[in-house]
Amino acid sequence: MKKLILSVLLVLSPFTVQAAGHGGVELLHAPVNAQDKVSLQNGAKLFVSYCLGCHTAKYMRYERIASDLQIEPKLVQEYMMFTGDKLGEQMNTKTDPKDQAKWFGAAPPDLTLEARLRGADWVYSYLLGFYPDDKRPFGVNNHVFQDVAMPHVLADLEKQQKPEEFKQSVGDLVNFMAYMAEPIKAERERLGVFVLIFLGILMIPVWFLNKEYWKDVK
Amino acid sequence: MSKFFSNIMGWVDARFPATETFEYHMSKYYAPKNFNFWYFFGVLSMVVLVNQLVTGIWLTMSYNPSGEGAFDSVEYIMRDVDYGWLLRYLHSTGASAFFVVVYLHMFRGLLYGSYKKPRELIWLFGMGIYLCLMAEGFFGYLLPWGNMSYWGAQVILNLAGAIPFVGGELVQWVRGDFLISGATLNRFFALHVVAIPLVLVALVFLHLVALHHVGSNNPDGIEIKKNKGPDGVPLDGIPFHPYYTVHDLVGIVVFLAVFSTVIFFFPDGGGYFLEQPNFEPANPLKTPAHIAPVWYYTPFYAMLRAVPSMFGSAFPGVIVMGAAIAILFVLPWLDRSPVKSIRYKGWMSKVWLAILVVSFVVLGYLGVQPSNGTTLGIGNTLLAQMLTALYFAYFILMPFYTSIEKCKPVPDRVTGGSH
């Protein structure tokens, strides 16, 4: 029986070799760290400054950003909210996506879940992946997303900052987007530890109860 | 105090077979004492079923089954409903856990001949549960109304459309519309939340009643009722309660630890429990790069794709895929072995079971790969065809290899008791 199980595992083992690389492009590794509040706060600031002009984040509430990222609600209202929304509202713009489709060719998608849809590494590589291309309407193309309709929005920031600094900024932005895609992530991991500890402790009486009852079998 | 309670039970028992039923199914149901690891998965299936029902009820309180509102309502549950994220992850991980547990439970049946006489009906009810489970997963997967939800449903409904003559009308009837729309979503919601759960619970009840009527099998495939003591209790039997209720607690706690690890640390399951394309709303104009069903359907999906179109129709593939599930129903009548358990069967049964496992698992892997790729140098389609043939061979050749192989002698009494 053991020989049988071993031979089955042996036959299946070559299939554990998986080819790397998907869609052809090597992705950079995004520095996502849900615990780094400074990075998340910087990312939030960048997101509001550079992204919300065209994109929405319609599932993300300002108030949630304030409490999760430990920013004073007043500061959120002053520096992150420009359209007279209330703190509890979601990051929605008033632009009609149909108009945007006319102006840009494609309506800019909502970004709340983008980091989960594409993966944080993809978003990071994408934002760092713009290069000059005369044939495109905005003069740029992207290594990760061929013929994308989006301009290189972070071009100004890239000029203002040194390359390492710029990479750091984009990293913060992607970190924030990863947070936006699943705000509960840090909390669920924290709770998970307690759940497993609880089950570990529960196992002790359960195991010994079982042993005790089965003492008189056979 | 105890007199008070026994008075209450006396009152109930005079009006309802409470104690009688408890004794018949639990405290005087004599199960073989040698159950092993494979025997946890029945109880675990029930645990997961209860999980799906309970989390499902709470999800239904906040979910909106309309084309416009469904996707948003899922994000509402994830963000604004207190512990909504936990309900969602319990339900999505639970769906995958259900299939893990049910496949392992079925495998136990294959190992120990649990489907053989007099347990054929238990097996048939179980196969009914499996079919319902697959339908339940199919209907449930559309509900988040993500892009993979939409396109996965599109592919599978188009398969039904391949049925000659009736296909087109049939699919329109199922969809409730000329294309997948809010009408489809709403009716899939009704089927997923009410209709199939009712059928599932009824089948599980029948499955257990049929089991208790004949008694459980065991890893040695010995009928313990053949050796009874002077009091009529099987010598190798122990009352299910308290021995297995207590024993199963251990299994349940271990299962909960694995389950919780997934839920709290990687609920996406590496993209297999929550698929990436499903994080954007359904878009009839945007097909995902790779449309694949959820992992638990992929072995059958690989078989479907492996069969080439004949006479311009994809229907032969549908037939093969259906046959792969249908053949499981007749398993009790294909197995001609004089013994039940793999422990005492000849080497041919062991080899063929190993081939079945490898084929099924690798087909599952192939189901998520693009069909024009290669694996270890072999074209995926060719590999899938070979493995499909091997899968069917396990069943088709079974009447022969189980008849001619030399079996080992089966002992009178069970070997080994659980600790």
- pLDDT tens figures, A78-113: 888 877 778 999 998 778 888 888 888 888 999 999
Question: CB-based contact (8 Å) between A200 and chain B?
Answer: yes
Higher pLDDT, A10 or B373: B373
**Tens digit of each residue's pLDDT (9 = 90 or more) over B124-159:** 999 999 999 999 999 999 999 999 999 999 999 998
Question: CB-based contact (8 Å) between A213 and chain B?
Answer: yes
Over its length of 419 residues, how does chain B's per-residue pLDDT go in tens digits? Answer: 788 888 999 999 999 999 999 999 999 999 999 999 999 999 999 999 999 999 999 999 999 999 999 999 999 999 999 999 999 999 999 999 999 999 999 999 999 999 999 999 999 999 999 999 999 999 999 999 999 999 999 999 998 898 989 999 999 999 999 999 999 999 999 999 999 999 999 999 999 999 999 999 999 999 999 999 999 999 999 999 999 999 999 999 999 999 999 999 999 999 999 999 999 999 999 999 889 899 999 999 999 999 998 888 889 999 999 999 999 999 999 999 999 999 999 999 999 999 999 999 999 999 999 888 888 888 999 999 999 999 999 999 999 999 999 999 999 999 976 54
Chain A residues whose beta carbon lies within 8 Å of the beta carbon of residue B82: none
Q: Cβ of B78 and A184 within 8 Å? A: yes
- Consecutive H or E run containing A131: strand A130-132
- Consecutive H or E run containing B85: helix B84-112
Q: Cβ of B85 and A188 within 8 Å? A: yes
Question: CB-based contact (8 Å) between A97 and chain B?
Answer: no
- Per the CB < 8 A criterion, the answer to whether B382 and B389 are in contact is no
Give CA–CA dist A84/B200, Å, rounded.
52
The pLDDT value recorded for residue A15 is: 64
Give CA–CA dist A23/B370, Å, rounded.
12
The pLDDT value recorded for residue A9 is: 79
Q: Cβ of B261 and A196 within 8 Å? A: yes
Mean pLDDT of A56-75: 94
Q: Cβ of A23 and B249 within 8 Å? A: no
**Among B242, B256, B350, beta carbon nearest to A199:** B256
Q: Cβ of B79 and A184 within 8 Å? A: yes
DSSP state of B193: I
Chain A residues whose beta carbon lies within 8 Å of the beta carbon of residue B33: 217-218
**Tens digit of each residue's pLDDT (9 = 90 or more) over B154-172:** 999 998 898 989 999 999 9
With a CB cutoff of 8 Å and minimum separation 6, the contacts of B274 are: B92, B267, B268
- Per the CB < 8 A criterion, the answer to whether A87 and A77 are in contact is yes
Residue to test with chain B: of A7, A114, A188, most B Cβ within 10 A: A188
CA distance B164 to chain A (A): 37
Chain A residues whose beta carbon lies within 8 Å of the beta carbon of residue B233: none
Question: CB-based contact (8 Å) between A204 and chain B?
Answer: no
- Per the CB < 8 A criterion, the answer to whether A186 and A40 are in contact is no
Chain A residues whose beta carbon lies within 8 Å of the beta carbon of residue B246: 209-210, 213-214
Residue to test with chain B: of A114, A213, A216, most B Cβ within 10 A: A213
**Among A17, A199, A211, beta carbon nearest to B257:** A199
Q: Cβ of A213 and B246 within 8 Å? A: yes
Rounded to 5 degrees, φ, ψ at B255 are: -60, -45
Question: CB-based contact (8 Å) between A8 and chain B?
Answer: yes
Residue A17 has pLDDT above 60, yes or no: no
Give exposure, B116-136, as e/b (b: 16+ Cβ within 10 Å): beebbbbbbbbbbbbbbbbbb
Q: Cβ of A1 and B343 within 8 Å? A: yes
Q: Which two tokens stand for residue B137?
A: 């997963």
**3-state SS string over B354-402?**
HHHHHHHHHHHHHHHCCCCCEECCEEHHHHHHHHHHHHHHHHHCHHHHH
Chain A residues whose beta carbon lies within 8 Å of the beta carbon of residue B279: 113, 116-117, 181
Helix ranges, B118-195 (H): 120-142, 147-161, 167-175, 182-190
With a CB cutoff of 8 Å and minimum separation 6, the contacts of B43 are: B248, B251, B252
Chain A residues whose beta carbon lies within 8 Å of the beta carbon of residue B376: 14-15, 17
Give CA–CA dist A17/A19, Å, rounded.
7
**Among A15, A109, A203, beta carbon nearest to B362:** A15
With a CB cutoff of 8 Å and minimum separation 6, the contacts of A1 are: B342, B343
Q: Cβ of A118 and B242 within 8 Å? A: no
State the average pLDDT for chain A: 90
Q: Cβ of B79 and A183 within 8 Å? A: yes
Q: Cβ of A213 and B86 within 8 Å? A: no
Give CA–CA dist A199/B260, Å, rounded.
9
Q: Cβ of A15 and B376 within 8 Å? A: yes
Q: Cβ of A59 and B253 within 8 Å? A: no
Chain B residues whose beta carbon lies within 8 Å of the beta carbon of residue A195: 260, 264
Q: Cβ of B343 and A200 within 8 Å? A: no
**Among A182, A192, A217, beta carbon nearest to B238:** A217
Chain A residues whose beta carbon lies within 8 Å of the beta carbon of residue B276: 116-119
Residue of A nearest to B247 (CA): A210
Q: Cβ of A23 and B289 within 8 Å? A: yes
* pTM for this model (two decimals): 0.94
Q: Which two tokens stand for residue A78?
A: 């002053």
Residue to test with chain B: of A117, A180, A208, most B Cβ within 10 A: A117
Closest CA to A4 of B27, B358, B171: B358
The pLDDT value recorded for residue A104 is: 83
CA distance A36 to chain B (A): 18
CA gyration radius for chain B? 24
Burial class (CB in 10 A: 0-12, 13-18, 19+), B44: buried
Chain B residues whose beta carbon lies within 8 Å of the beta carbon of residue A209: 246, 249
**Among A12, A113, A214, beta carbon nearest to B243:** A214
